[in-house]
């Protein structure tokens, strides 16, 4: 059931893009790729190589919105003709055109494949993120090497953000080091090893735009696949030479005289060291500080007690009476993964979640599709485009409050209501003869007001198994033998699993940060109220970039990989500007910081997270949304092109 991380190592060493050149040999692999390839992507690939716009016109009447489910079948004769034409282009010398299509044609291709318009403002982001060309639009002059060759950047964490920081700092010519508390790279995907662990974001998007991977086994990656991918990236970029593993950052203190951070780190043997760094990029992330449930008697339980975030892979659940607290993302993966092995499974639901289906039985990437992604020019990029679009800003209208929509409705707009009806339909189709389960699993709050759960065709059916029990009654207390519910029932357990998430609001964790004049960030943020300019910077803490920080999470869409890349780009742009001006440090002005807080809170009033029934880990105890980015991903990408000089003080 659990992941064997010893095996998640060299298997993906071949995941770099292989040479994709024309003409290709006419092999069984190529024919399988054309037969199994995704039709929209095959068409985009063909038009990219041929500029045959007539084929776009012929397919257009048959393409529907990517949100239509299930998708309509395409005419077999038309699809067969496309495969033949593309086959000819790929194997015939000189048949494919040289160069790339014009931006106008690319935009038309995008619109045709999606059955909806793609506004020009999206093109720079799309070209960058789908891997066609990595543009670096800049607000400043061309990059120069740091004025001081000893200018050093310290990065906290070797997860997705920290790895991106190391790679891009190297490209930019900076001295850098990563401090990582674990024994390997990967962050979340090194730490989380519970049965069924995986990624909700589609594989071919949840990866670096500069390190596309054609080797995914599944369209939504398993935990070991994600970890192996990140190991591969670390290998390709030789990151480990500058990573201090098994080392914890404990304290940052700003030295005003020398304009450096004194960074206290502790190694595995308990020894301390102080590292001087001109700038700090904190990439430790908010989802590695687990949260135990606040339930009386938790420590008294005498059976096996585990949290999904620190799963012990040696745990044997076979035939056991297992209880799991929580029905969020981790639980939805864990429950179907263990259900057939345990003797009894009691699921204690603290709150309902909206659950969306993914196509059952279609999550495994076929050999033919892998061949297409490895060898057919532009196929992988066009597939990533389609996945990106319907997992990103196409979902943004769902989180906008319609001021004319009834305030007491469990939705916030006509678009959001349509999504709610779609989710209700999934519940009704899953439990046609179980009104009790339909009632237990139907939320009363708007879709997207908290994290959505994906059902790969195995989550909802698990509740139909006779030995699986969904308990909606609240928990009164935990005893040495099990759980007592508020109705007085006691359920005896051998194993208690807490899938109760993370202390996201405490974005500092145990880290102590002391800035200008002894100012302490803990005094500013407390335990649950983080605030930052543009989600990253705080007055009084120069050259400190807190990535994945306040109000920078794309909670309407997938895309933490995009956010990580953007924030790293922004931090380096700030450092480039600083060094170009021969200054030592920068920080946002208090006026800019305050104006940003006002801007976020003003926007948040019109967002789904302000709905009176919207409660989630996005909000602190005062119901302030401290986590979500309330604009589109394209807006985030554009803002990250570089600092707005008027908002900063150079020191």
SS3 sequence of 313-367: CCCCCCCCEEEEECCCHHHHHHHHHHCCCCCEEEEECCCCCCEEECCCCCCECCH
pLDDT band (50, 70, 90) for residue 71: low
Model confidence at 70: pLDDT above 80: no
Please give the pLDDT value at position 2. Answer: 39
Distance of alpha carbon 109 from alpha carbon 394, whole angstroms: 17
Is residue 246 within 8 Å of residue 197, measured between CB atoms? no
pLDDT band (50, 70, 90) for residue 356: very high
Is residue 261 within 8 Å of residue 276, measured between CB atoms? yes
Please give the pLDDT value at position 1. Answer: 35
Residues comprising the chain, all counted:
651
Taking the C-alpha atoms of 385, 386, 392 and 393 in order, what is their torsion angle to the nearest 10 degrees? 90
**Phi, psi of 383, deg, nearest 5:** -70, -45
Is residue 511 within 8 Å of residue 501, measured between CB atoms? no
**Helices then strands (H, E): number in the chain?**
19, 21
pTM of the shown model: 0.94
Q: Do domains 152-289+504-650 and 298-361+405-498 have the same CATH topology?
A: yes
pLDDT band (50, 70, 90) for residue 539: very high
The CATH homologous superfamily of the domain defined by 298-361+405-498: FAD/NAD(P)-binding domain (3.50.50.60)
Please give the pLDDT value at position 140. Answer: 59
Distance of alpha carbon 344 from alpha carbon 340, whole angstroms: 9
% of the chain exceeding 70 in pLDDT: 93
Mean pLDDT of the chain: 92
Distance of alpha carbon 82 from alpha carbon 47, whole angstroms: 10
Please give the pLDDT value at position 143. Answer: 61
Distance of alpha carbon 234 from alpha carbon 439, whole angstroms: 47
Distance of alpha carbon 586 from alpha carbon 259, whole angstroms: 10
Least confident of 141-150, 404-413, 520-529: 141-150
For the stretch 179-224, pLDDT in tens is 999 999 999 999 999 999 999 889 999 999 999 999 999 999 999 9
Least confident of 69-73, 120-124, 517-521: 69-73
Please give the pLDDT value at position 13. Answer: 35
For the stretch 226-268, pLDDT in tens is 999 999 999 999 999 999 999 999 999 999 999 999 999 999 9
Distance of alpha carbon 30 from alpha carbon 587, whole angstroms: 54
Please give the pLDDT value at position 144. Answer: 62
pLDDT band (50, 70, 90) for residue 131: confident
Region 563-581: mean pLDDT is 94
Structural domain boundaries in the chain:
10-137+366-390, 152-289+504-650, 298-361+405-498
Model confidence at 372: pLDDT above 80: yes
Region 394-409: mean pLDDT is 94
Model confidence at 416: pLDDT above 50: yes
Q: Which CATH class is domain 152-289+504-650?
A: alpha beta
Please give the pLDDT value at position 68. Answer: 62
Model confidence at 288: pLDDT above 90: no
Taking alpha carbons only, the member of 557, 608, 614 closest to residue 443 is 614
% of the chain exceeding 90 in pLDDT: 84
Please give the pLDDT value at position 3. Answer: 36
Distance of alpha carbon 434 from alpha carbon 431, whole angstroms: 5
pLDDT band (50, 70, 90) for residue 465: very high
Please give the pLDDT value at position 72. Answer: 72
Is residue 38 within 8 Å of residue 366, measured between CB atoms? no
Please give the pLDDT value at position 7. Answer: 38
Region 531-548: mean pLDDT is 98
pLDDT band (50, 70, 90) for residue 616: very high
Distance of alpha carbon 91 from alpha carbon 30, whole angstroms: 10
Is residue 552 within 8 Å of residue 540, measured between CB atoms? no
Please give the pLDDT value at position 456. Answer: 87
Please give the pLDDT value at position 14. Answer: 37
Distance of alpha carbon 63 from alpha carbon 59, whole angstroms: 7
Instruction: Give the ranges where 53-102 is alpha helix by DSSP (H).
Output: 53-59, 76-91
Please give the pLDDT value at position 200. Answer: 87
Q: For 255, what's the count of Cα atoms within 13 Å in the CB-facing half-sphere? A: 14
Region 515-531: mean pLDDT is 97
Model confidence at 9: pLDDT above 50: no
For the stretch 294-311, pLDDT in tens is 999 999 999 999 999 999
Region 521-536: mean pLDDT is 97
Q: Which residue has the tokens 């807490």?
A: 498
Which residues partner with 323 through β-bridges? 346, 496
Region 448-475: mean pLDDT is 95
């Amino acid at each position: 059931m659990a992941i064997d991380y010893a095996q998640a190592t060299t298997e993906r060493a071949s995941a770099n893009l292989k040479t994709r050149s024309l003409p290709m040999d006419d092999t069984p692999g190529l024919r399988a790729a054309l037969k199994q390839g995704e039709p929209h992507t095959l068409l985009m690939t063909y038009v990219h190589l041929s500029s045959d716009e007539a084929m776009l016109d012929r397919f257009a009447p048959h393409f529907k919105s990517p949100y239509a489910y299930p998708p309509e079948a395409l005419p077999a004769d038309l699809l067969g003709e496309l495969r033949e034409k593309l086959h000819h282009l790929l194997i015939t010398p000189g048949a494919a055109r040289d160069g790339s299509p014009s931006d106008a044609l690319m935009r038309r291709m995008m619109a045709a494949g999606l059955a909806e318009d793609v506004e020009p403002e999206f093109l720079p982001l799309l070209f960058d993120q789908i891997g066609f060309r990595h543009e670096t639009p800049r607000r400043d002059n061309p990059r120069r090497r740091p004025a001081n060759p000893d200018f050093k950047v310290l990065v906290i964490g070797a997860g997705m953000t920290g790895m991106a920081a190391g790679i891009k700092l190297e490209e930019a010519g900076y001295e850098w080091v990563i401090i990582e508390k674990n024994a390997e790279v990967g962050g979340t995907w090194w730490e989380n090893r519970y049965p069924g662990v995986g990624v909700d974001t589609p594989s071919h998007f949840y990866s670096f735009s500069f390190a596309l991977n054609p080797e995914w086994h599944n369209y939504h990656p398993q935990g070991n696949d994600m970890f192996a991918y990140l190991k591969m990236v670390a290998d390709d970029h030789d990151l480990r030479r500058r990573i201090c593993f098994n080392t914890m950052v404990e304290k940052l203190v700003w030295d005003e005289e020398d304009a450096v951070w004194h960074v206290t780190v502790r190694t595995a043997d308990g020894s301390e060291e102080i590292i001087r760094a001109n700038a700090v990029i904190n990439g430790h992330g908010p989802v590695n500080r687990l949260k135990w449930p606040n339930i009386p008697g938790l420590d008294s339980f005498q059976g096996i007690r585990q949290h999904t975030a620190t799963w012990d892979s040696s745990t044997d659940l076979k035939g056991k009476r297992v209880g799991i607290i929580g029905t969020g993302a981790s639980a939805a993966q864990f429950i179907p993964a263990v259900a057939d092995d345990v003797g009894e499974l009691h699921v204690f639901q603290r709150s309902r979640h909206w659950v969306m289906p993914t196509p059952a039985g279609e999550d495994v990437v076929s050999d033919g599709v892998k061949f297409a992604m490895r060898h057919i020019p532009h196929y992988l990029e066009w597939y990533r485009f389609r996945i990106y679009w319907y997992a990103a800003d196409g979902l943004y209208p769902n989180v906008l409050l319609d001021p004319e929509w009834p305030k007491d409705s469990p939705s916030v707009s006509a678009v959001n209501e349509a999504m709610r009806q779609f989710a209700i339909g999934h519940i009704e189709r899953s439990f046609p003869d179980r009104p009790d389960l339909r009632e237990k699993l139907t939320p009363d709050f708007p879709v997207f007001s908290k994290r959505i759960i994906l059902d790969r065709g195995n989550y909802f059916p698990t509740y139909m198994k006779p030995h699986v029990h969904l308990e909606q009654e609240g928990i009164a207390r935990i005893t040495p033998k099990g759980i007592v519910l508020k109705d007085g029932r006691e359920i005896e357990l051998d194993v208690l699993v807490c899938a109760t998430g993370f202390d996201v609001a405490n974005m500092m964790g145990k880290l102590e940060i002391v800035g200008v004049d002894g100012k302490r960030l803990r005094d500013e943020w407390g335990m649950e109220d983080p605030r930052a300019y543009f989600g990253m910077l705080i007055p009084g803490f120069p050259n400190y970039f807190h990535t994945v920080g306040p109000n920078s999470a794309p909670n309407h869409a997938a895309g933490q990989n995009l956010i990580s890349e953007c924030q790293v780009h922004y931090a380096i742009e700030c450092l480039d500007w600083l060094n170009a001006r021969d200054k030592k440090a920068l920080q946002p002005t208090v006026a800019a910081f305050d104006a940003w807080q006002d801007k976020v809170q003003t926007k948040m009033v019109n967002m789904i997270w302000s709905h009176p029934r919207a409660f989630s880990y996005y909000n602190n105890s005062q119901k302030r949304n401290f986590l979500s980015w309330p604009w589109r991903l394209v807006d985030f990408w554009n803002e990250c092109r570089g600092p707005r000089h008027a908002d900063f003080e150079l020191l």
